[in-house]
Amino acid sequence: MEAKKIFKVIEKHAPLNLQLDFDSSGFNVGNRDAEIVGVLVSENVTHEVIDEAIEQGCNLIISHHPVIFGDYFDEFTQSLVQHAHDNEITLYSAHTNLDAVEGGLNDKLCEVLGIEVQEGYGTCSRIGYFKEPKTLKEKAKEIGKILKDTNIRTVGNLDRELKTVAVSCGSGGRDDALVEELKDKNVDVLIGGENKLSLALKMQYYDICLIETGHFNSEILCKDIFANWLKDIGIKVVKSTKDVNPYNA
């Protein structure tokens, strides 16, 4: 199957017009017309992931995070592009469009965390309620176990029972406008990644709890989404096992 036809399968589910202005979702590197014999799906593209694609006989990598952002190529980016080019591997990504779309990453995260979605906020967040309310301490422990995240951090009263919740995967927890919206809606807790200290202090003042997850852990579910969307394309689809969290536990 030609690479561009596989791109269309992804874009049918996660249209490119949903991506945010800063983003570089879509075709990144390689050949749109290449005949694809296998697809490797991952959250990130690293040299280890490219080597894994080679070993698995996959000449297309579909990742959540784009290799290229804008026009700036640092040494690391150049090395990845060259590695893929040298081995005739095409790179494609679905980033903020995957966060935003219904049935995408935020909805998948809500599903595995037992959250009933009531509405979307902006493009890359969801607001809803826990199917099983628990205290902040209990929920943080539960979420850490589900996401295999040993570095969960919290803000707020650990004994407070949480019912209403907002979810914003990746670095969505850095969104000041989202926090203002949660205050107005009296939401109990935000589950988000890479929170800013200034925002944590604001949430403490507003009496909004925070469960901070790692960026990697909150978005690794993208592999399951991609694999499900591509299950009927007629060629092999492999979930990366070499795409691992760079942070020490």
Q: Going from the N-terminus, what domains does the chain have, and what CATH number goes with each?
A: 3-95+220-239 (3.40.1390.30), 102-213 (3.40.1390.30)
Digit-coded pLDDT (tens) for 139-174:
999 999 999 999 999 999 999 999 999 999 998 888
Distance CA 169, CA 149 (A): 14
For residue 199, give the amino acid letter: L
Digit-coded pLDDT (tens) for 206-240:
999 999 999 999 999 999 999 999 999 999 999 99
Beta bridge mates, 124: none
Element (H, E) at 190: strand 189-193
The answer to pTM > 0.85 is: yes
Q: What 8-state DSSP symbol labels residue 34?
A: -
Count Cβ atoms within 10 A of the Cβ of residue 188 and give its class: 0-12 exposed, 13-18 middle, 19 or more buried. buried
Distance from first CA to last CA of the chain, Å, rounded? 40
User: Do the Cβ atoms of 115 and 128 come closer than 8 Å?
Assistant: yes
Digit-coded pLDDT (tens) for 15-60:
999 999 999 999 999 999 999 999 999 999 999 999 999 999 999 9
Q: Across all residues in the chain, what is the average pLDDT?
A: 96
Is residue 63 helix, strand or coil?
strand
Is 78 a residue whose pLDDT tops 80?
A: yes
